[in-house]
């Protein structure tokens, strides 16, 4: 079942509140959906993506048609709900609070101090998908994404792995995508590849809170992992 009715009700709730600042949105999600942990995770994820997309657009200063298209590729918002989503986007974009405050509260979804949280990586992947939609990662977008990753406690090494899925880093690219040191035996490469495929199966992403509408993240991530593995395999296995 689509969660957009729940999200729209939540957006109406915070829009009518005396203070609609994004810094309080995570706490509002917790209280509003306290009785349903699964729905709470899914709504929190969706709200985070919408809000941080708006903050990224504000940092860059420009919203292109390609970025709008990319947003709708990963968020299949029903026509009747698009107005409410636009309201949340505008609230986030106009809010004077910096994205760091909001991102820090989102990081609490994984508990205090946890590094390389899969849910936060999912959010970061979605932001990358939107940022690169116009064919280039602009400097301000890159700075924004790296700072969000820092707030999310994504390690530098893991961030490079995420970055490599989206940006061509040249010869080291396939090794970085798989998160394995260059030159390792093919048996180790294959083991790491199988682990990544298992961890990023669409069912796993849904289980940890991604809305079904967002499953494009899983398919594009696995496509990048498959391509990287095939590149390494061609280079290491005898013809």
Dihedral of the CA atoms 84, 85, 91, 93 (nearest 10)? -150
Number of domains in the chain: 1
User: Is 206 within a domain?
Assistant: no
Q: pLDDT tier at 16 (50, 70, 90 boundaries)? A: low
Q: What pLDDT is stored for residue 35 in this prediction?
A: 83
Q: What pLDDT is stored for residue 39 in this prediction?
A: 81
pLDDT digits (tens, 9 = 90+) for 43-78: 887 888 888 888 888 777 777 777 777 777 777 777
DSSP state of 167: S
First to last CA, the chain: 48
Q: Burial, 28: exposed, middle or buried (Cβ in 10 Å; 0-12, 13-18, 19+)?
A: middle
pLDDT digits (tens, 9 = 90+) for 69-112: 777 777 777 788 888 888 888 878 777 677 888 788 778 766 66
User: Is 21 within a domain?
Assistant: yes
CA dist list (Å): 166 to 76, 110, 131, 211, 225: 21, 24, 10, 22, 11
Tokens 């990963």 locate to: 74
Q: Burial, 206: exposed, middle or buried (Cβ in 10 Å; 0-12, 13-18, 19+)?
A: middle
What percentage of the chain has pLDDT greater than the value 70?
Answer: 85
User: Is 193 within a domain?
Assistant: no
Q: Indicate if the pLDDT at residue 1 is higher than 50.
A: no
> Strand, coil or helix: what is 109?
helix
C-alpha closest to that of 47 among 101, 113, 103? 103
Q: What pLDDT is stored for residue 159 in this prediction?
A: 92
Q: Indicate if the pLDDT at residue 30 is higher than 90.
A: no
Q: What pLDDT is stored for residue 109 in this prediction?
A: 67
* Domain carrying residue 157: 4-168
Q: What is the mean pLDDT of residues 33-43?
A: 80
Enter the tokens of residue 53: 């997309």
Q: What pLDDT is stored for residue 81 in this prediction?
A: 80
User: Is 177 within a domain?
Assistant: no
Q: What pLDDT is stored for residue 229 in this prediction?
A: 93
Contacts of 100 (CB under 8 A, 6+ apart): 147, 151
Phi-psi sector, 111: left (phi>0), alpha (psi -120 to 50), beta: left
User: Is 212 within a domain?
Assistant: no
pLDDT digits (tens, 9 = 90+) for 150-201: 999 999 989 988 988 887 655 558 898 999 988 889 999 999 999 999 888 8
User: Is 159 within a domain?
Assistant: yes
Q: Indicate if the pLDDT at residue 239 is higher than 50.
A: no
The mean pLDDT value of the chain amounts to 80
C-alpha closest to that of 20 among 47, 42, 2? 47
More confident residue, 212 or 38: 38
CATH assignment at residue 96: 1.10.3680
Other beta carbons within 10 Å of 15? 13
Q: What pLDDT is stored for residue 27 in this prediction?
A: 73
Q: How far apart are CA 175 and CA 225, in angstroms?
A: 10
Q: Give all strands (DSSP E) within the chain, no chain letters.
A: none
Q: What pLDDT is stored for residue 196 in this prediction?
A: 92
Q: What is the mean pLDDT of residues 226-233?
A: 91
pTM of the model: 0.81
User: Is 186 within a domain?
Assistant: no
């Amino acid at each position: 079942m689509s969660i957009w009715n729940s999200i729209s009700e939540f957006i109406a709730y915070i829009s009518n509140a005396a203070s609609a600042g994004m810094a309080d949105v995570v706490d509002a999600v917790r209280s509003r959906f306290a009785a349903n942990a699964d729905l709470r995770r899914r709504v929190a994820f969706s709200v985070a993506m919408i809000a941080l997309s708006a903050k990224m657009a504000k940092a860059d200063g420009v919203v292109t048609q390609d970025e709008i298209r990319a947003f709708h590729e990963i968020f299949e918002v029903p026509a009747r709900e698009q107005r409410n989503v636009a309201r949340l986007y505008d609230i986030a974009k106009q809010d004077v609070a910096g994205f760091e405050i909001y991102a820090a509260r989102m990081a609490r979804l994984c508990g205090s101090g946890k590094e390389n949280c899969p849910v936060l990586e999912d959010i970061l992947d979605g932001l990358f998908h939107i940022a690169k939609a116009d064919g280039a990662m602009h400097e301000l977008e890159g700075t924004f994404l790296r700072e969000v990753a820092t707030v999310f406690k994504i390690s530098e090494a893991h961030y490079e792995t995420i970055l490599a899925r989206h940006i061509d880093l040249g010869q080291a690219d396939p090794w970085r995508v798989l998160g394995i040191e260059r030159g390792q035996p093919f048996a180790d490469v294959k083991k790491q590849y199988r682990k990544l495929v298992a961890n990023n199966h669409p069912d796993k992403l849904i289980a940890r809170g991604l809305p079904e509408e967002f499953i494009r993240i899983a398919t594009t991530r696995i496509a990048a992992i498959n391509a990287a593995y095939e590149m390494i395999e061609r280079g290491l296995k005898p013809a």
